[in-house]
Amino acid sequence: MATVAKGKLLSDWANRLGTARRSGNIFTIKGVYVQSVKWFGSRPGFVNIDPYMFDAEGTRMNAAAQLRGNAVVLIPYIVCEGDPTSEPKTAVVQQPRVAVGDFAFTGPCAGMVDDEGNFVAVMKKEIEQELGMTIDAKDLVDLTAAFTTGNQLIYPSEGGCDEGLRYFLWHAKMTSAQLDSYHNKHTGLHSEGEKTVVKIVDFDSLWHMQDSKAVIGYLLAKQYLTPNMKFL
């Protein structure tokens, strides 16, 4: 438990509350109950907490949360070389998402940021592991930094989770043969329980996926690629 108490997830959470207090928010924390920990090897990956936290009037706050840290999301924009009539493509992955009862859930390539907090390095690693593709970091565009303020993160479930997402656009050119070679390719680290299948689909299909990362990433990418659009 000492590893959890001194770990990055709890310390980052405490730092955010410190910033909130310095901004004028009044609250009292009398203790933090750690309900459970999901370990990734020797590192705490998910920490479920229920703080004894009270507002300025002394009313206990609903502060239960899962601490899991930040993650990166990749939105590829792929142009098919030699076929000017082809619609832009993107690469997504299908994988089991037991929480929603879907064993072929489709969404963008994404990965958790490590304790070093290096978003770009993690994104490169996830692309290689989940998509089987190798890229240069200079080809990544930080969409979240371009369109958000503050800490440049987007929170998909802030009511009970601290996870903040950072979106990257990857603009690529591939031949139809290359695209075919990636489609239905089995990837992921099986030693870590990852069983992913790459899917090459129309870029505009991201808008219709059930994965919120796909919809948000599509909107950010569209705004970047077509700056005169006014929906953002």
**Distance between CA atoms of 33 and 31, rounded to whole angstroms?**
7
Q: Count structural domains, the chain.
A: 2
pLDDT tens string 25-46: 999 999 999 999 999 888 888 9
Q: Domain residues for 131?
A: 71-225
* Percent of the chain clearing pLDDT 70 (strictly above): 94
Residues 6+ apart with CB under 8 A from 55: 26, 27, 61
pLDDT tens string 8-18: 999 999 999 99
pLDDT tens string 48-107: 999 999 999 999 999 999 999 999 999 999 999 988 788 999 999 999 999 999 999 999
Same domain, 42 and 77: no
232 is a domain residue: no
DSSP 17: H
Indicate the residue among 18, 33, 67 that finishes a domain. Answer: 67
Prediction pTM value: 0.89
Same domain, 99 and 149: yes
Provide the Cα torsion 121, 126, 127, 132; round to 10°: 130
Give the residues across from 196 on adjacent strands: 187
Indicate the residue among 43, 67, 91 that finishes a domain. Answer: 67
Same domain, 54 and 83: no
Same domain, 45 and 76: no
Same domain, 102 and 37: no
